[in-house]
Every structure is written in C-alpha cells, then in structure tokens.
Structure 1
C-alpha cells in the first residue's frame, strides 16, 4: 500500500506534465503595487488553468533594461516583458505617438484619443508578433530637477535625461537646443547621484517608485508627455497555449491592466501631493512660455512624421481628433 499512496501524493503536488511557463521581465521595482498585482494575476491564471499555465515574473530590472529584455525575448531567453511606449519603439515606432512632447493638455484629451486609437496600436503589436493585454496609463511626466524650470532658457546647459531607445524624445530635446543624455530607466538614479543628468521627465508616482525624488527639488506643473506601459508576450510562445487558455490569460491580465489604468491617475495625484509634503516645489512656466513650448514641440513632431520616424497618417489622425475634441469642448463652454 505504501507505493500506491506515495504515487497518489505525487500526483496531487506535481505540476501537470504539459505545464507551460512564460517568463516575463519588468523594470518595476520589486514590492511595488505593479509587481504585486501582476503576480496576483499569475496566481489566478495558474489556478484557473489547473497549473497548465504559469507566468513567472522577474521584477526590479534583474533581466536588464527594456532593450536587453527585448533582445532576450527575441532569442527565447524570455517570453515577454512590461514596456513603456518608448521601450517598444523598436517593435513599432507608432507606439510613441501617445508620448510625444506637449501633445496632450489634460487627462480628458488622453481619454478621448485612446478610445479611438488604442485598438489600432494593439493590432499593430499583434501584427508585429506580440500579444498584448491593453495599455495602462501612468499619468503625465513633468520636468523635475534641482533648479526651477519656467522657460526654455532655464533648460540651457542642463543635462536632460532621455530614456534609452527613445529616438523621438531624443530628437525633440536635441532640436530644442538642449543636451540629451541617454540612459536606461534602471540607471537614472545613478545618473542623478553622479551629476550625469540633472533634469528628468517623470510622473510623480514613477519618481517615488524609483526613489528619484530624493535627488530632486523642483517640479514644473505643465504636462510634458503622457506615459503608459503594456505587457507583451511573444506570439509564438503564446500560441503554444490552447485557445481556451489564451482567452483566459487575456481576460485575467487584461483585467489587471484595466485596473492599473483606472488606478494610476488617482495614485499619481496622491504621489504628487506626497512629493510636495516632502519639500519638492511645484513651479509654473512664465507667461506665454507654455504656448512657446507647445509650438516648438508641434513643429518637431510634424518633422518627425514627415521623416518617417512614425506614421504621418496616424499622427494626423490623432491631431485631427484632438482638434475636434478641443473645438467641441470649447463650444460646450460658450
């Protein structure tokens, strides 16, 4: 009787022989709400698939920066990763459209455009060979540094951090006559500590999560760029799941990212208030300066579209929708 009992116990605790493990990397800090919620989603997936599908998350940038993670996905060392729009530009440059400098003025504008363009961009990701589970907005990046920034002149001579691989932001910063310094997100803290960079664009929640706020003193109030992230999995690896399991994973992780999308706006506002309480000072641009920034950025964005950095057709579609929304909003106020 001993051998049969041992056999039964083994069957109860062993993973199914056909279990498929998807290894997914993220630069989100370990212990952060992002990692906790994604791992909860992974637990739900494992339970609902009876152990057939296992999502293993590597947080804290242990698998390297976004460029390294993408390379590891392509060689099969990883199956997926969590990326910012800029981090995915190597797959599809159009994923940077939402993050173009000074494009959006409010969350309402973002919501209007995303309701009309999210699916287009998600479809492009699928065609490029990646399954995605929706976009999670991260709020607006704002200029942050050790000195106040109220005008373009305040930026002259400053070392401006640009995320590694983000050719669009690099070109925009350079065209404004500034000095861009390219670094992966995982190296920004070191850059601030050593003086390699002295001004960054970050959301409040990101500045706290990565502890950058400890090296900063001022925040400029104007929204610089909209930030978002998405989890992608290599389609070839994902297709090894049954159709039923694929649908279930999309449902669960799609729900996780919808929750991120809803929660991040309020979390970012709370984070901004927390930064103020810790002594960071919010400053406004000088009169007329905000329009100047927007005009300069728009000219750069138009040129980048003409040069083929991203689709000029999609860019025009986004701008036309924005103008329509602004006109409708203005008409309602009158």
Structure 2
C-alpha cells in the first residue's frame, strides 16, 4: 500500500514537472516599460495561481529577432508565442489590422463600442490560424510627426515619410495619399530623422517621447491616422496542452494585465500630448474640409486592405456596421 502511494506521488510530481516547461514569449517591448511590467506581473500571477505548473518567460527588446524570425521560432517550438503589434500580427492573420485601418476611428469611445462587438470574432480569426489571444490592448492613436509643417495632402506629398518595415496598412495608407513611404526597422527611425533620410514618422504621442523622436521633429498633425493595437498570441498547440483550469487562469491574468496596459496607455498619451506642447512641438489642427479630404483617402485605402490576402470582407463589414451604430 505504501509503495502504491509512493508511486502515485512520484507520478504526480512527474506530471507537474512535465507541465512546467515555460511558455516562451518574444516581444519588441523594451524591458522596464509599462507593457513589460504588466506582462511580467501577469506571468507571476499565473505561476502562483497554477502552483508553478505554468511559467511564462519573456524575451523583451527584440532579442529573438525580427517578426519573421520570431514566427519561424514559434513554428519549430523554440518559442510558444509573442507580443505583436497589429502590423506584425497580420503575418498570422490579416484580420489583426481590422482596428488599425487608416482614418477609420475618430475617438476612443468609438473604438470601445466597436471592440465590444468585434473582439470575439477577431480572436476566432487568430484561432483559425493556429493561435490563441488571451490579451489584446489598444496603444492609442498614431499621429504624424514631422520636421516640416504638414497640414494637408499637398504638404504630405513633399515629405519623406517612414513606415514600419512590412507594415502593409501604413504603406497602403500613405500611397493612397500620393506618398511613396520609406520602410525601415523602428530602431532606425531616430537616426534617420537625425540624418534627414526621413523627415516624418507616425507614432502615438507617448511613443514619440519614449523613442525620443520628439527631439528631432517640430510638428504634429492633429489627426488620428490609425489606432494602434497590441496582441499577446500563443501557439494553440502549447495553449491546448494546458489543463482547462490552467488555461482559465492564464486567460484571466493576461486579459486583466492587458486591460491595465490599455488604461495606462490612454493616460500616458494624454500626458505626453501636453508634454510635447511644452517642449515646443507645434500641433497643427484640421478643419472640417481638410478632415473630409483625409476621410476620402482613408476610404480608398481601406478598400485595398479588404479582400484576397487582406482583411476578411465579413469582418470588415461587421466593423463598419458596429461603427455606424456607434455614431448614431
């Protein structure tokens, strides 16, 4: 009887150890940022509440390589997931960009109302592609920062505009405005602003300060270009290997962390806007006629983002319907 009990204890311990292999997550978010602090807090809570059965290990600052490299490492099992921007996650499913289409939203209130109806459908799109998304957060609106004053389509056409390498949405948006953008890794933007290779770049207000771009630009166009999203995506095979109980803990803790990240981002962006003005960045307003021009550009760009190889027409239509309802 004692031998049986001992064997059962050893077997139980072996099962626990078998489940203890860490879920390795890559991210470009630098260590020490609010995003990393919240994700690490969630990982600690998951580990504690699962009695060490589930450990999430982060590799911040892009140390695991670029987006293509990270996806390849996930495919071979070297990583189990990553924290992606919308543009990066589009390599998993083009639907990841459904909230980040150019000139789509006018306010965060609109974003909230649409996401309340669409988030579940978007997560289903990731799952169909083999990934589970326990956490997603809005980083705020991206605005165009520039060395020279950009106040309409004509002045935009004269600018040397940066877009993130591989970001199809940003590329299509600027091409619809008659601009041939310059794709570069985000790490090269500061130096490129310094050397004059580029003279305009889009970012959230908090991002412009975090990356120190505000020290190289003088103007900000007061027009939301697109809404920035972040996703924590985990390979479905690794996720499904967890028990139902442990999956719920992971979903709850990561989901709560990303809700805090989004709330913090809104506060940070509001404070950053004030700080930018205090440091001499001129914010250029837009009148109703100018906004109408930008809306027209956005409508053309969004057509090119939907369909074969792009955002699914069904999801795009669902977002448009939810947006129309939000504006009534």
**TM-score, normalised to structure 1's length?**
0.88
Q: Give me the whole-angstrom Cα distance separating, in 1, the residues matched to 2:111 and 2:134.
A: 19
CA contact (8 A) 1:66 1:184 kept: no
The residue correspondences of 1:54-73 to structure 2 (distance < 5 A) are 54-73=55-74
Q: In structure 2, how many angstroms separate the alpha carbons of the residues matched to 1:236 and 1:201?
A: 36
For residues 313 and 259 of structure 1, the distance between their equivalents in structure 2, rounded to whole angstroms, comes to: 30
Task: Report what 1:119 is aligned to.
Answer: 120
Q: 1:241 Cα deviation (Å)? A: 2.0
Mark the CA change 1:186 to 1:63 in structure 2 (over 3 Å): closer, same or farther.
farther
CA apart distance, 1:72: 2.1
What corresponds to 1:272 in structure 2?
A: 273
**Structure 1 residue 306 displacement after superposition:** 4.9
1:174 is matched with 175
* Secondary structure of 1:159 counterpart: coil
Distance in 1 of aligned mates of 2:144 and 2:89: 22
Deviation at 1:300, TM superposition (A): 2.4
Counterpart check, 1:86 vs 2:75: no
Please list, as runs of the form range in 1=range in 2, the aligned pairs for 1:278-317 lying within 5 A after superposition: 278-285=279-286, 288-306=289-307, 309-317=310-318
Equivalence for 1:158: 159
Match of residue 51 from structure 1: 52
Partner of 2:252: 251
Task: State the TM-score, normalized to the length of structure 2.
Answer: 0.89
Cα offset for 1:279?
1.9
Deviation of the 1:67 alpha carbon: 3.2
The Cα of 1:103 is off from its aligned counterpart by 0.5
Residue 17 of structure 1 corresponds to which residue in structure 2? Answer: 17
CA drift at 1:251: 1.2
Contact 1:27 1:59 in 2 (8 A): yes
Please list the CA deviations of residues 52-88 of structure 1 after superposition, one character each: whole Å capped at 9, or x if unmatched. 2211111122222333322322222211111111111
- Can you give the 5+ residue segments of structure 2 that lack an aligned partner in the other structure? 1-15
Structure 2 CA distance, aligned partners of 1:321 and 1:40? 33
Secondary structure, counterpart of 1:220 in structure 2: strand
Greater mean deviation of Cα atoms: 95-104 or 272-281: 272-281
CA contact (8 A) 2:38 2:258 kept: no
Q: Distance in 1 between matches of 2:195 and 2:75?
A: 33
Aligned length: 312
Q: Note the C-alpha offset of 1:200.
A: 1.1
Contact preservation (8 Å) 2:23, 2:55: yes
Distance in 1 of aligned mates of 2:212 and 2:59: 20
Conserved 8 A contact 1:122-1:134: no
1:85-123 deviation digits (Å, cap 9, x = unpaired): 111111111111111110111111111111111110011
Q: Conserved in 2, the CA contact under 8 Å of 1:32 and 1:209?
A: no
- Cα distance between partner residues in 2 of 1:307 and 1:241: 35
Secondary structure at the counterpart of residue 86 of structure 1: helix
Partner of 1:325: 326
Give the drift of 1:286.
Answer: 5.5
**Conserved 8 A contact 2:34-2:261:** no
CA–CA distance in structure 2, aligned partners of residues 271 and 282 of structure 1: 12
CA contact (8 A) 1:85 1:96 kept: yes
Secondary structure of the structure 2 residue equivalent to 1:310: coil
Superposition deviation, residue 272 in structure 1: 1.3
SS of alignment partner, residue 197 of structure 2: coil
Q: Distance in 1 between matches of 2:314 and 2:51?
A: 45
Cα RMSD after superposing both structures: 1.8
- In structure 1, distance between residues paired with 2:65 and 2:190: 15
Match of residue 3 from structure 1: none
Q: Aligned partners of 1:218, 1:67: CA distance in 2, in Å?
A: 33
Decide whether aligned partners of structure 1 residues 320 and 47 sit closer, same or farther in structure 2, where only a CA change above 3 A counts.
closer
- Identify the residue that residue 105 of structure 1 maps to in structure 2: 106
Where 1:223 maps in the other structure, the secondary structure is strand
Deviations 1:204-247 (A, max 9, x none): 11122222222222111111101110111111122222222121
Confirm or deny: 8 A CA contact 1:61 1:186 kept in the other structure. Answer: no
